[in-house]
Structure 1
């Protein structure tokens, strides 16, 4: 079917949503969810808004159009905090030629605007496809994906899902996962005038960090995936000491372990524990994992030759995307949760990932329009109309 997005409406939708603060933390995605409901309910979508915590809602809009697969459009309603360094208003969209500036323009309210427009086009062109379309927009992707976890815990069976993230409308079929152990290094306190009477936890943490660096270089970085590259292990935070004149008896390290598709999270945890045990046996370093910081989730992939991947690549090529893919995200997103729920999924969206999370974040009007048509095209390729005999 032909696709003719309403450009003025696309731009207006994005402007309205940018003006609805949903910085995470704290999130407060309710206003965006209500906006989606107002736009899709008049078109026949069944609306459900469910909070996993106060003022932290997901919204799902379901349109049943005869027999056929269940297809989900998904992206997130939260954004990272505005931060500093902006030369444009962060929470009021600014248009300069083709560029639309504002927090969330690229990540991920641009994807949301294109998915809304695609849903409208499909709702008014029901003879062109058959099945069930769900537009599900979630909270909290930027911190720990609580919204997607909550939705997919008890969601209807979904055959196909497009996750909206800034990919310049190329097709991403895989992404890394993340694991963040909090490691406590234990020492023995003493007066700083007689440090030999204690055991300095910061010194031991330094020795442990050298082991972590060596383990990354010798083992972890050699775990690779053709689309997302190599796995990694590094220290991203450190804290210790309680007084200027006291030998510290504790030091905390935050580790960041990036997993590639095919790796098992429990195996990665076991590997880290083994690293700590070797440090104890060989150098007397006492260290233990005392918790894990929340992350977006694990790694995942959809096979490049899966029907959804093939359809997505064909749709991106038809839209003249110069490098359609398939590619893999270095970071993580909500695809993993839809994959764990049984859906085949890909990541596609307007905007350049290099602009995400930065001051003067922007998306172009052309990217919004192309994303809309790619979304519609994929649905029509995988959900053809029922032929009546």
Structure 2
């Protein structure tokens, strides 16, 4: 079994290392993970993604069954304000470990480390290789760590991939598609007292935002798992002074889509609506730029070994069926989602400790009970992996 006390200690150690993105990056955190893996007797490999930012990979060799690939990112979002505890302190209160990245996702990384160490401690040879990949840059628009992992040919078509991201210990087999965009509107500066001589770029942008939000929310697409498409105007900046007609306005959009939409639909949709709005504002222009990597919707196959394995292991550990997360979907986009998108794999999923409700918030925490449950489920799944994989192919 996985040693829970070591999982707790590893979570606290990881939380003590600042790995904000953007910020100091994951270099120190990756070095700590490498030392921890080496202390287990494993041979970690560092694959440089960017300066001082390495994906760390370690493998416990196993038999001929498909490999189990466990993903865990080392970066966190910025710490921010409003904390009542030290965000790098790893403080324990009752059942919770607090700190930036506690649930997203240093607790999940600690579970993965605990699994690899337990396999060695108990002299277990898994039915297939167990591969752990600690990635960088998951919290950034480009998700450079996942892209580098796929481009490096480390992965195989038969790999069964799981990201131990916070899901409230529920199974998430699908993720919404996501496209981030920036839109810039150029109008004409004028004195606010003679506003009719200018073109109010803020007004134009507000119209685009309103029209686009209404259009997306009215789309007829309702996925049985993911629900409806969603739109958020995340930022909106315009103007130079209160008494000046704003010559430019810039906004960033978060657009989440569901099948049958495809990610290539997004920019033409925004373009069409912006053109329609600008017909009421002669002289105004606009430009659209993609922000970060396109992220198409993905979904794992119900009969994939990783899905069957998680369901079976949870049933064995808890005695009841593995619960589904929010209609079985996942609003966030993870490294597992990007691997699925880039490779076409239907054997990538998300299951882990902590709740997305606490991710990216002040006083972020991961419940110790979640760490224990996910540890037990992962151990049971690896223990049963041969049976699971043979049942999938029969």
Displacement of 1:96: 2.4
Aligned pair partner of 1:313 in 311, 314, 325: 311
Counterparts in 2 of 1:136 and 1:261: CA distance versus 1, 3 Å = farther
Counterparts in 2 of 1:137 and 1:378: CA distance versus 1, 3 Å = same
Counterparts in 2 of 1:96 and 1:210: CA distance versus 1, 3 Å = closer
* Residues paired across the two proteins, number: 382
Aligned mates of 1:295, 1:26 — CA distance in 2? 20
Moved more, 145-154 or 244-253: 244-253
Q: Is the 8 A contact 1:176 1:331 kept in 2?
A: yes
Aligned mates of 2:31, 2:51 — CA distance in 1? 15
Displacement of 1:319: 2.6
Aligned pair partner of 1:107 in 100, 104, 107: 104
Aligned pair partner of 2:366 in 363, 368, 380: 363
User: TM-score, normalization: structure 2?
Assistant: 0.88
Counterparts in 2 of 1:269 and 1:79: CA distance versus 1, 3 Å = same
1:32 is aligned to 29
2:70 is aligned to 73
SS in 2 for 1:353: coil
Displacement of 1:267: 1.6
User: Is 1:135 paired with 2:132?
Assistant: yes
RMSD: 2.5
Residue deviations 1:198-222 (CA, integer Å, cap 9, x gap): 2222222233233223212322xx3
Matches within 5 A, 1:122-161: 122-125=119-122, 127=124, 129-144=126-141, 145-158=143-156, 159-161=159-161
User: Is 1:96 paired with 2:99?
Assistant: no
Aligned mates of 1:211, 1:108 — CA distance in 2? 36
User: Is 1:231 paired with 2:222?
Assistant: no
SS in 2 for 1:224: coil
Aligned mates of 2:262, 2:278 — CA distance in 1? 25
Displacement of 1:24: 1.6
1:86 is aligned to 83
Aligned mates of 2:260, 2:116 — CA distance in 1? 33
Q: Is the 8 A contact 2:305 2:388 kept in 1?
A: no
Counterparts in 2 of 1:194 and 1:232: CA distance versus 1, 3 Å = same
Aligned mates of 2:81, 2:204 — CA distance in 1? 37
2:214 is aligned to 214
Displacement of 1:182: 1.2
Matches within 5 A, 1:325-336: 325=324, 327-336=328-337
User: TM-score, normalization: structure 1?
Assistant: 0.89
Q: Is the 8 A contact 1:188 1:249 kept in 2?
A: yes
Q: Is the 8 A contact 1:27 1:139 kept in 2?
A: no
Q: Is the 8 A contact 1:172 1:329 kept in 2?
A: yes
Displacement of 1:246: 3.1
Aligned mates of 1:147, 1:129 — CA distance in 2? 27
Aligned mates of 1:96, 1:197 — CA distance in 2? 61
Displacement of 1:14: 1.2
2:55 is aligned to 58
Displacement of 1:128: 5.0
1:324 is aligned to 323
Aligned mates of 1:354, 1:316 — CA distance in 2? 22
Counterparts in 2 of 1:382 and 1:5: CA distance versus 1, 3 Å = closer
Residue deviations 1:112-148 (CA, integer Å, cap 9, x gap): 1111111112234555522222100111212222211
Q: Is the 8 A contact 1:108 1:165 kept in 2?
A: yes
Displacement of 1:27: 4.4
1:347 is aligned to 350
SS in 1 for 2:110: helix
User: Is 1:251 paired with 2:249?
Assistant: yes
Aligned mates of 2:249, 2:52 — CA distance in 1? 36
SS in 1 for 2:361: coil
Counterparts in 2 of 1:24 and 1:261: CA distance versus 1, 3 Å = farther
Counterparts in 2 of 1:36 and 1:277: CA distance versus 1, 3 Å = same
Aligned mates of 1:240, 1:332 — CA distance in 2? 29
List runs of 5+ in structure 2 lacking aligned partners: none
Aligned pair partner of 2:287 in 283, 286, 289: 289
